Chain A
Amino acid sequence: MTPRQPPGAEGLAAARIALNRVETEVNRAVLGQRRVVREVVAALAAAGHVLLEGLPGMGKTLLVRALAQALGGRFARIQFTADLMPSDITGHAIFEMKSERFHIRRGPIFCNVLLGDEINRAPAKTQAAMLEAMQEQQVTIEGESLALPPPFIVLATQNPIEQEGTYPLPLAQLDRFLLKCYIGYPEADEELAVVREVTAGTVGDGLDLSAVSTVMTPKQLLQVQATAAALTLDDAVLGYALRLVRATRDWQGLDSGAGTRAAIALVRAARGHALLAGNGFVTPDDVKTVAPAVLRHRVRLGAELEIEGYRADDVLAEILAGVDAPRS
């Protein structure tokens, strides 16, 4: 594998502007969630999948719909339920009487942006159907491998409090998501603006995406992702990212730390964040900023900490405060 050439100033600026426009468009529809929007756009630049977790009514679906609207391309949504079958996602082969041949009917996964709503409501078998698609960007139906159209981004949502009738995602599935973002309650003034704007002249409670314009094509997104992948990454920053990931394996209170894929994801996400910030290189700040979203679903808290009410973010904050940043 030959290293990519660092992007030129023009390519860098174009990518940054494109990403910022996407971010701005999404922020038009999703108010009060700027941090999450920025993380999602960074994941977009890094060509990573995102798991959004938040209470009902926090705008998870709206965020994904707005992102799909801003990106253009083909968008599909799957509402995960307990009776959802893998073939409902990937597609299946049907026998066509007219031609007397099996014909493959492609499922909704053949799209550019896939919204997996309440992904933890489907059983493990159905969740596993997405593993191949998320990791290898392809789907196998009746022994035939079908490539998914690039770019392919999965944005899944899940509800953290309703555990009845849910199937928690296994660690292998979680590891496929580049970021896990928490959508929390907005600030009071932002919430006021949300309620005011959504209720003014609106009938019913449909998602209003009229304010969101399509500002990027799938082709442009691929270019942006290539630019992000070519950003300069110094060994000191790489070492810093690796030290963070390795620290999770030795930290007391964690049953299991992050794996090598986490280190890769951390660097990829940091590239996306650096590009969004307009830098032509990755800094420790980029790594540290995305580290909680990259690592929080890849570590498993010990029983003692869970009982005491700690969250993965608490431990990750300790780890981030305990690992030295590069200064030479």
Chain B
Amino acid sequence: MDPTRLAAAIRPRGPWESIDLGFALARTWFLPLWLCWWVTAAPLALLTLVLLHQRADLWLLLLWGCKPAFEALPLYWLSRALFGERLTVAVAARRLPQALPPRLWPQLLWRRIGVTRSFSMPVTLLEAPRGAARAARLRVLGTGAAGWLTVICVHLETVLWLSALLLLAFLLPEGMPRLDLEATLTDSGSMADWIGGLLMLAAVSVMAPFYVAAGFALYLGQRTRLEAWDLELAFRRARARPGRAGIGQAGRKGASAGRADASWTHPGRSHFGRGRRTVVAVAAALLLAAPLAGPLSPTQALTREEAGVAIDAVLAESDFGGTREAWTWVYVGDTAEPDTDGDAGMALPDGLIQSLASIIKWLLLLAAATGLGLLALRLLPELRAPSRTRRRAARQRPAGTQSRAAGATAMLPLDIPAEVRRLLGAGDARGALALLYRSQIAQLRTAGLDLPDSATEAECLATAASRARPDQVAWLQRLLRLWQGVAYGHRAADPGAMASLLAERAILMQGQPVQGLSADD
């Protein structure tokens, strides 16, 4: 690593500024980063294509799961390039085993779905902590805005994919087969699905350099903020200058002091800032003083005591020794003494106020829950329309829509022939035929035929004809003809025909069921 050849200014940055930096780096080095991504992705994509050539969705899912492996090489390349080591893609490809994380499987399995992967990858790859040390390290560093970075990049990937898909769909020349957009999501294995999958892979590959670079920049930002990495690099640069060995030594000490100071002050930002300012002052003084002092030979290096004296001298100067007072308003809470006299007798007890507040709070919560419930009850049926309109209509069936048939069907007498004869004896031929009709419907239903209450005579007959025995169908046909004539035609029932129907029914009931028709109810 050559700190003098840093491609980006390392200084404390906020999370969003770090992401900006990452995106700027990705734009600068997009091509090598993109190619590095494909160095890993392309072979795997081609190999798995052989296995999953009929399932574009599974193929895409597999590649999506392997994204951490694809992003290792771009990260490796970027970590080198940032410090001046510009590898060619070929060289980077040869270093792939070195670039991959030491334990890849966790990255591809349970850590794959972590939303802060962009941040944890640099930690895993560049520092290689394991187990509890890794967790502790990540806990110390935090994650910055890595979660939001993932959300943003997923959205950008989706937008890119949809844009490409729509562009292709709308700009296909006339005469070419149209791209079925719905099939890209629903028809697995279709041409449209493959096109959608390839475009998605392309969108993911385009976003990958930005994701990796932004995650790396977040990592740099966090380290800089927490570990004063900028100072360390500044001292490294100072040390790296020719003939600055003494200053380099002092700088190293200063850096150590700075790092210690940062560690000690973490997480208090004010102390941290003061420590940083002190160290920067010292470093600046040393760096400024160095040219004035002229070149130093290694033998002229300052001892610890001499350096301390020099630092104290610098700090004693007016530029660094002055103090400044600044005034600002800080809210420290209500310090006024409670008014104990006056309307103290009118004041409500604290306990009562707390109770009232609690009751009001629960009432509000209850009202909100009730409102949400009512809203859901109102909206859900509308969302399900019209496929479920029948259910709602059945529930809210207007008066008169429900005929007596359904209820009557459900309440058939046990001995139907006896009841039919009784009704015939009472002169109610219509009632007797209706009973026979309903009992036959019930029997057909028991046999598994779908005969809703809305089925008319012709529909019942057609349904029965599809599964019942011919003699049963013929009997039902005669029954329905007689029933319609009596009920709807107001014709007198032929006693002979009625007796014949009953007799034949008894014979039919004794026969074995055919094609699912059971015996009597």
* A residues with CB within 8 A of B: 232, 234, 236-237, 239-240, 242-243, 246-247, 249-253, 279-285, 288, 304-305, 308, 310, 314-315, 318-328
Contact = CB atoms under 8 A, between A and B. Distances in A.
The 10 closest A-B pairs by CB, nearest first: A327-B405, A281-B489, A324-B403, A324-B453, A285-B458, A328-B434, A284-B456, A234-B488, A281-B488, A253-B386
Contacts of B455: 325
Interface in B31-63: none
B389 A327 contact: no
Contact of B385 (A246, A252, A321): A252
B401 A324 contact: yes
Contacts of A326: 403, 405, 487
B420 to A, nearest CB: 14
Interface residues of B, number: 40
B406 interface: yes
Interface stretch (B91-99, B277-285, B391-399): B391-399
B386 A318 contact: yes
B402 to A, nearest CB: 6
A253 B404 CA distance: 27
A250 B381 CA distance: 14
A313 to B, nearest CB: 12
B490 interface: yes
B405 A283 contact: no
Contacts of B398: 246-247, 249-250
A325 B453 contact: yes
Contacts of A325: 403, 405, 453-457
Given A234-B490, A283-B456, A328-B434, A240 B386 contact: no
B386 A280 contact: no
B147 to A, nearest CB: 38
Nearest to A310: B386
B444 to A, nearest CB: 13
A240 B397 CA distance: 14
Contacts of A285: 456-459
B361 interface: no
B457 A284 contact: yes
A328 B404 contact: yes
Contacts of A232: 488-490
13 contacts: A239-B403, A243-B403, A247-B398, A250-B398, A250-B401, A251-B393, A252-B392, A281-B490, A283-B458, A285-B457, A315-B386, A321-B390, A328-B405
A318 B389 contact: yes
A183 B209 CA distance: 60
A315 B434 CA distance: 30
B394 A322 contact: yes
Contact of A305 (B386, B392, B437, B452): B386
A257 to B, nearest CB: 10
A322 to B, nearest CB: 5
A327 B385 CA distance: 30
Contacts of B459: 285
B231 interface: no
Nearest to A253: B386
Contacts of B393: 247, 250-252, 318-319, 322
Contacts of B485: 281
A242 B403 contact: no
A304 B487 contact: no
Contacts of A323: 401, 454
A251 B386 CA distance: 10
Given A232-B490, A252-B392, A322-B393, A314 B386 contact: yes
Contacts of B452: 321
Contact of A327 (B400, B434, B458): B434
Contacts of A237: 488
Interface in B390-438: 390, 392-394, 396-398, 400-406, 408-409, 431, 434, 437-438
A324 B390 contact: no
B441 interface: yes
A238 to B, nearest CB: 10
B386 A328 contact: no
A300 B487 CA distance: 34
A234 B459 CA distance: 20
Given A321-B452, A324-B406, A243 B401 contact: yes
Interface in B295-311: none
B408 A252 contact: no
B265 interface: no
B484 interface: yes
A327 B489 contact: no
A284 to B, nearest CB: 4
A28 B91 CA distance: 85
Nearest to B399: A246
A310 B385 CA distance: 11
